[in-house]
């Protein structure tokens, strides 16, 4: 009898250990599944029985009841939606372009975005962009999308998107709408290239003409200067000055050892130099 009692006691202790282990594992499992870790660049919103909490958690651990609640995590960093679309123009042409939509969620308004748009809010942003870009681009010519007016078109699309998004949910901040890799219809692209080439040629000819005019003006100024100088010299050469200069020249000749022949008409001498 005593041996049977010992055996029953040992089995009871073993069963108690198993129950403790079971409860321990259950506690660890519940602890692991009832907390969420929010990393930098993220924000978490607790949803209990389908209702979103107004409190937004950031960078830390959030505990919740896994049976009735869950934590939805969303990025608060800048995100990029890339699209390749065919945009209409004012003249009815289609312009292919690669689009980048830069946006981010406003941290304090994430519950509103999730409640009104759901987690698939990127598809809403894409649909809003398609509508806004069609409305805006239809007011511009195709060549405008390939010129310096591209920035104005991007700003108008951004403003139109913001207006449409605010009607559906507040909390999506549009940072920029970028139109990249604009591809015009081949015929239009060739026409624009020819026009640009003609403009460059015209500018080059204008430069050449201006240079020629400047060179002509320079020559005229030089000629006028020489003419004025000669006029001044001729006006200053009187008979008395000529006689004085002649006397000075003869004085210098008299000092020269070389023989010379002087021919004169009695007024102005002419010098003929001879070799010894």
Handedness of CA 19, 22, 26, 27 (dihedral sign): positive
CA atoms of 150 and 180, how far apart (whole Å): 10
Region of poorest pLDDT, from 63-77, 107-121, 123-137, 236-250 = 236-250
Q: Is 183 helix (H, G, I), strand (E, B) or coil?
A: strand
pLDDT at residue 103, as a whole number: 94
Residues 97 and 160 in one domain: yes
In a domain, 206, yes or no: no
Residues 106 and 158 in one domain: yes
Residue finishing a domain among 75, 96, 128: 75
pLDDT level of residue 254 (50, 70, 90 thresholds)? low
Residue 44 lies in domain: 2-75
CA atoms of 58 and 31, how far apart (whole Å): 20
The arithmetic mean of pLDDT across residues 26-33, rounded, is 47
pLDDT at residue 149, as a whole number: 84
- 158 CB-contact burial (10 Å; exposed 0-12 / middle 13-18 / buried 19+): buried
Q: Residue 255's CB: how many other CB atoms inside 10 A?
A: 7
Residues 123 and 173 in one domain: yes
In a domain, 230, yes or no: no
* Residue 100 or 25, more confident: 100
Backbone dihedral region for residue 45 (phi beyond 0: left; psi -120 to 50: alpha; all else: beta) = beta
pLDDT level of residue 52 (50, 70, 90 thresholds)? confident
Residues 26 and 87 in one domain: no
Backbone angles phi, psi at 257, to 5 degrees: -75, -15
Region of poorest pLDDT, from 77-91, 135-149, 251-265 = 251-265
pLDDT at residue 51, as a whole number: 87
């Amino acid at each position: 009898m005593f041996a049977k009692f010992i055996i029953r006691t040992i089995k009871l202790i073993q069963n108690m250990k198993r129950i403790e282990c079971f409860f321990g594992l259950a506690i660890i499992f519940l602890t692991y599944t009832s907390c969420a870790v929010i990393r930098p660049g993220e924000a978490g919103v607790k949803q209990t029985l389908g209702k979103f909490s107004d409190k937004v958690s950031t960078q830390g651990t959030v505990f919740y009841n896994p049976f009735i609640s869950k934590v939805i995590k969303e990025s608060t960093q800048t995100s990029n939606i890339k699209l390749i679309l065919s945009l209409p123009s004012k003249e009815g042409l289609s312009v292919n372009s690669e689009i980048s939509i830069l946006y981010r969620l406003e941290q304090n308004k994430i519950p509103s975005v999730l409640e009104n748009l759901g987690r698939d809010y990127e598809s809403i942003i894409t649909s809003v962009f398609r509508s806004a870009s069609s409305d805006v681009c239809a007011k511009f010519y195709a060549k405008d999308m390939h010129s310096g007016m591209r920035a104005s078109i991007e700003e108008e699309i951004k403003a139109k998107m913001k207006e449409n998004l605010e009607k559906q949910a507040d909390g999506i901040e549009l940072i920029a709408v970028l139109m990249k890799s604009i591809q015009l219809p081949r015929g239009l692209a060739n026409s624009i290239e020819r026009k640009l080439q003609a403009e460059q040629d015209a500018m080059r000819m204008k430069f050449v003409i201006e240079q020629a005019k400047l060179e002509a003006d320079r020559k005229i100024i030089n000629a006028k200067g020489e003419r004025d100088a000669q006029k001044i010299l001729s006006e200053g050469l009187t008979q008395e000055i000529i006689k004085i200069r002649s006397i000075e020249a003869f004085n210098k000749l008299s000092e020269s050892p070389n023989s010379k022949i002087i021919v004169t008409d009695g007024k102005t001498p002419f010098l003929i130099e001879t070799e010894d």
